[in-house]
Amino acid sequence: MPSRDDIRKQQESLPIYDHRNGLMDAIRDNEILVIIGETGSGKTTQLPRYIIEEFRSMRIGVTQPRQVSDLRIRIAAISVAKRVAEEYDCRIGDTVGYTIRFDDTTSSRTRLKYMTDGVLLREATMDPLLEKYDLLIIDEAHERTVDTDVLFGLLKRTKAKRRDLKLLIMSATLNVTKFSDFFNECPIYSIPGRTYPVEILHSRDTAKMGALKATYVSKCVDTVTHILNKEVRPGEVGDVLVFLTGQHEIERACQDLKKAVQDQSSKDSKSVTLDQLQILPLYASLELLDQTTIFEPSARNMRKIIFATNIAQTSVTIPNIRFVVDSGFVKQKMYDPTTGMDALLVVPISQAAATQRSGRAGRTRAGVCFRMYSRESYETEMEKETVPEILRTGLTGTVLSLKRLGILDVNGFEFLDRPGEEELQAASRELYLVGGIDRFGQMTDVGHGMIAYPVNPLLARALVEAEKIGCLDKVITIVAMLSVEEPFYLPRKEEEQDAAREAHAKYYHPSGDHVTLLNVYEAWRESDYSKDWCHKEYFNLRQLRMAKNIRSQLKDIVDRNSQNDRDTHRHYDSNSSSRKDDEEKGQRHYSPDQISGRRGGDDVARNKRSRNDTTSSSSSSSRSILEAFSQGYGIHLSKKHQHRPMFYHYLASTSSPSAGAAGPSSTLLALHVSPLSALYMDEERSMTKHGRRVARDLEWVVYHEVVYHVKAVMRYVSKVDLRWVQATLDRAKIFDQGLVWLNHERSDLPSLKDVRGNNGGSKSSTHDDGKEGDMKESGTAAGEGESEEQAKKKVRLALVEAARKRALERRQNQ
């Protein structure tokens, strides 16, 4: 633990120290301020501390960007908050605290809260005026995560209603004019950095980035070995930071470097040895204890070699880095709106990212950056700037948040960089298909249930369904397991891989991976969460522990929501009892889906049917689980190809179960089951008949995500009955028939206001199950001389007429 004197000296050595008074004056004089300061200037740790010391009554929130899209420990928010608390001489949770997705350390005494941008976005959906804050700091704005970009739009709306709220936008890049322009040309304050020169060494290999993708991990390890034996002298200080793309690469590189050092030291007594090195991984899902080791000073005569993802690029400052090894690649989530598929891809970084990476070597002394790519590749193959996340990922969660705020027309929302209309429409379509919004773009009861869970919208949909059909506890466990990195450990040695697969096979469930994940977690719990059990059965202890923590937090959320909603549910149950009585008497309540002549899918009846159809408790449990996931993953429905050992994304090829019997178009993407899947062996053991591979009992599946390596691989796959996703397929047909208006695109869309001719507002409320209900109006009296039922009948008739006109127009245009 550093002394107070050491802390003071370090604070005074930071570039921001000389600008304290100027910054405080600028904050007093401006409602919105953009601040430029390179990573390491002290803006993240020092500026918030200056503010709470200068403005004693201010309540301050500081956001850090989420580096990954699923549930992982947020290194930046935690490490920064702990550092500031240490400097402020207080405990975490007192004056300074942090909130990440599944960990809240704040209290009523907290005045400075660090959080992820996702946390603040969720708070904004619940409290659009953000009244618990007097000043908000959006840190690392240049990272341009989806949540940060959406926050910009929401904060601009909030500022129009709350002049007293101060807003600071902090960025580590010089290209901040876009931020200033967005916020009405607000002032820009620049903090000059104190950096040392960094020598840039490009690879002499002229291979293109595409060819380099297969070898960059081994090249990075070889370069580190070269640095240790050729570039540094004994006793010379300075650590090495290596940029790779993900956990598996990093763990592999750590092992490869250890082996390379051992081999070298056994041949040459003068070369570096393992006891002189600390070889450390750094990625988002790393346990907190392992994270903090990276920021601690190295022991005497020890050198750290840190293999990291791009979380070390801008979000955290690792001290004492002299050498940087840049692979030139990053893992990014990319979205294809035509198929509705997200995929994690390894892609080249931008020139701006390359500059940020090299800059990590020049914080405390002159440094060197070894780039694994040529100068030509840097100049001709890399984009100048990183494409903002909002322009390359799925926006389903974003659109759901905007709908929660009452923004029906998401196309009209003011984005810093507007996504394409196709991407926004695809997100709205996805929400409609899972029942989160109705045909008019308004949130259903299902949608409101989904937004209560801080998880991927499709997982949230599964949780909502699980609560309804009585398998919530089990589905929570599976969602927690899906929210971590791969829990199945597969050794690199081939002989050990066979043993691992044999161990894993004991937990396989015939239905596939979702129930298999439940089996694994339950077995680990029965072992009393044993470390030895994980080692024996080839499971990743670190990931299972994280799943345990996420599961606990999700259970807490369910308990809190149940407590908060108990009175509301009681009221709803009393109001819905008459409807239930009517149903039992055979009286139908028609929804807009049913007016168009379609069945629409009665989810309540389906759920009752599914419970009655099951015979044993085991089959009932697994069936209920898969039905719940089918409600979220119906849009990921895939069909087995008749003639080849592959699948294709069903909703990308047709909306009709009877169509495409001869197989998909050759232009559709071929999907393959992951080798770690419980269903992989089923595919491999498929029978050969008349020269064709025919899989046993493996026609329809749903998947969690697609990852591209050499081919497109489905991760976490389960068999499903087509009937379980029928509601999704029905909605897909209605969408394809043009009977939806998710963003009020149709100027002739009728509303209660239009039909009644009065000045009252109009909203269509919905019943649960994501079905459009009886078009009840919220907070508006019926028109003069007109009953509620008469008004609703007019709306239905107008909708049918609008659909008829649309169909007629389409026929005339053909």
Which residue intervals of 509-657 are DSSP H helices?
513-526, 531-537, 541-584, 592-595, 603-613, 617-633, 650-653
The residue among 112, 117, 165, 113 whose CA lies nearest residue 140 is 117
Which has more confidence, 667 or 144? 144
Mean pLDDT of 282-291: 66
DSSP assignment string, 402-436: HHHTT---GGGS--SSPPPHHHHHHHHHHHHHTTS
Q: Which two tokens stand for residue 741?
A: 């208006």
pLDDT level of residue 337 (50, 70, 90 thresholds): confident
Whole-Å CA distances, 431 to 436, 494, 595, 810? 5, 43, 21, 25
Tell me the C-alpha distance between 617 and 608, whole Å.
16
Q: Which helix (H) or strand (E) holds 481?
A: helix 472-482
Q: Which residues contact 619 (CB under 8 A, 6 or more apart)?
A: none
Range with the largest mean pLDDT of 231-235, 346-350, 574-578, 615-619: 346-350
**pLDDT at position 216 over 90:** yes
Tell me the C-alpha distance between 130 and 343, whole Å.
34
Q: Mean pLDDT over all residues of the chain?
A: 79
Tell me the C-alpha distance between 634 and 429, whole Å.
13
**pLDDT at position 505 over 70:** yes
Place of tokens 């993407």: 669
Label residues 26-37 b or e (16+ Cβ within 10 Å = b): bbeeeebbbbbb
> Is residue 724 a contact partner of residue 632, using CB atoms and an 8 Å limit?
no
Residue 542 is predicted with a pLDDT of 85
3-state secondary structure at position 660: coil
**pLDDT at position 17 over 80:** yes
Look up residue 233 and give its amino acid.
Answer: R
**pLDDT at position 319 over 60:** yes
Residue 350 DSSP label: P
633-659, pLDDT tens digit by residue? 999 999 998 888 889 888 765 443 333
Residue 71 is predicted with a pLDDT of 34
Residue 116 DSSP label: E
51-73, pLDDT tens digit by residue? 999 998 999 999 988 653 333 33
Mean pLDDT of 207-231: 94
> Is residue 596 a contact partner of residue 740, using CB atoms and an 8 Å limit?
no
> Is residue 326 a contact partner of residue 372, using CB atoms and an 8 Å limit?
yes
The residue among 768, 761, 754, 765 whose CA lies nearest residue 799 is 754
436-483, pLDDT tens digit by residue? 999 988 899 999 999 988 889 999 999 999 999 999 999 999 999 998
Q: Which two tokens stand for residue 187?
A: 């002032």
Residue 42 is predicted with a pLDDT of 84
Beta pairing, strands 700-708 & 637-640: antiparallel
Q: Which of 81-85, 155-159, 263-267, 473-477 has the lowest mean pLDDT?
A: 81-85
**pLDDT at position 222 over 90:** yes
Domains of the chain: 4-191 (3.40.50.300), 198-391 (3.40.50.300), 453-459+471-584 (no CATH), 635-725 (no CATH)
Q: Give Rg (Cα) of the chain.
A: 28
Q: Which of 58-72, 238-252, 519-533 has the lowest mean pLDDT?
A: 58-72
Give the number of other Cβ atoms within 10 Å of residue 781's Cβ. 11
φ, ψ of residue 421 to 5 degrees: the values are -60, -35
> Is residue 48 a contact partner of residue 16, using CB atoms and an 8 Å limit?
no
The residue among 755, 748, 750, 749 whose CA lies nearest residue 788 is 755
Tell me the C-alpha distance between 327 and 342, whole Å.
24
Residue 231 DSSP label: I
Strand partners, 347: 330
Q: Which helix (H) or strand (E) holds 687?
A: strand 687-689
Tell me the C-alpha distance between 630 and 485, whole Å.
22
Strand partners, 321: 239
> Is residue 280 a contact partner of residue 362, using CB atoms and an 8 Å limit?
no
pLDDT level of residue 800 (50, 70, 90 thresholds): low
Residue 228 is predicted with a pLDDT of 93
Residue 655 is predicted with a pLDDT of 40
Residue 192 is predicted with a pLDDT of 83
Look up residue 184 and give its amino acid.
Answer: N
Tell me the C-alpha distance between 42 and 44, whole Å.
6
Tell me the C-alpha distance between 61 and 64, whole Å.
10
**pLDDT at position 727 over 90:** yes
Q: Which two tokens stand for residue 531?
A: 């470390």
pLDDT level of residue 564 (50, 70, 90 thresholds): low
Place of tokens 């400052």: 317
Residue 134 is predicted with a pLDDT of 97
Tell me the C-alpha distance between 466 and 621, whole Å.
11
Q: Work out the angle between the directed axes of helices 146-161 and 396-404 (0-180°, nearest 10).
A: 20
**pLDDT at position 687 over 70:** no
Residue 461 is predicted with a pLDDT of 97
Residue 5 DSSP label: H
Residue 540 DSSP label: -
Q: Which residues contact 10 (CB under 8 A, 6 or more apart)?
A: 2
φ, ψ of residue 35 to 5 degrees: the values are -120, 125
Cα dihedral 625, 628, 634, 639 in deg (nearest 10): 20
DSSP assignment string, 293-341: HHHSPPPTT-EEEEEE-THHHHT-PPTTEEEEEE-SEEEEEEEETTTTE
Q: Which helix (H) or strand (E) holds 788?
A: helix 788-813
3-state secondary structure at position 79: helix
Upper half-sphere CA count for residue 760 (Cβ side, 13 Å) = 17
Tell me the C-alpha distance between 621 and 633, whole Å.
18
Which has more confidence, 602 or 503? 503
Mean pLDDT of 254-271: 91
Q: Which of 307-316, 360-369, 391-400, 501-510 has the lowest mean pLDDT?
A: 307-316
pLDDT level of residue 37 (50, 70, 90 thresholds): confident
Mean pLDDT of 791-799: 52
734-784, pLDDT tens digit by residue? 998 888 888 755 444 444 344 334 333 333 333 334 444 333 333 333 334
Tell me the C-alpha distance between 102 and 529, whole Å.
20
Task: Classify residue 564 as exposed, middle or buried by CB count within 10 Å of its CB (0-12, 13-18, 19+).
Answer: exposed
Residue 808 is predicted with a pLDDT of 57
Mean pLDDT of 696-709: 83
Strand partners, 239: 321
Q: Which of 161-170, 419-428, 796-805 has the lowest mean pLDDT?
A: 796-805
Residue 774 is predicted with a pLDDT of 33
pLDDT level of residue 316 (50, 70, 90 thresholds): low
